[in-house]
Amino acid sequence: MSEVIILEFSGATADHYRDVNKLLGIDYATGQGDWPPPLQSHTASFGPSGLMVVEVWESKEAQAEFMARLGPALAQAGVPQPNRTEWSELLLHHDA
């Protein structure tokens, strides 16, 4: 069963998000790039409280493996630690 992760980064900016994507080889403008295959969905939003990322992964283990690549990119871009990390089991995903 797929797993959903919600990450909230208070104090993170849209520039942080763009910088991390660049470091990961993902084109922020087009969405094209080196996405990890076990990632099924990625959504990011930015608002008054900071950056929120919602992802669907094949498994928690697959996301943990990706952290070997993502963790250094987050650090290099100066992104603060997430103030919220929440996992849940996916019930339904639909792209309209």
pLDDT in tens, 23-70: 999 998 899 999 999 999 999 999 888 999 999 999 999 999 999 999
Spatial CA neighbour of 53 closest among 19, 93, 14: 14
- In 3D space, the residue among 56, 77, 79 whose CA is nearest the CA of residue 66 turns out to be 56
Q: Give the pLDDT score at 49.
A: 84
Q: Delimit the domains of the chain by residue range.
A: 3-89
Task: Indicate the pTM of the whole model.
Answer: 0.93
For Cα atoms 76, 42, 65, give the angle at the middle one, nearest 5 degrees. Answer: 60
DSSP label at residue 54? E
Question: d(Cα 19, Cα 83) in Å, to the nearest integer?
Answer: 20
Alpha helices in 1-96 (DSSP H): 14-24, 60-77
CATH number (3.30.70.100, 3.30.390.30, 1.10.340.30, 3.40.190.10) of 3-89 reads 3.30.70.100
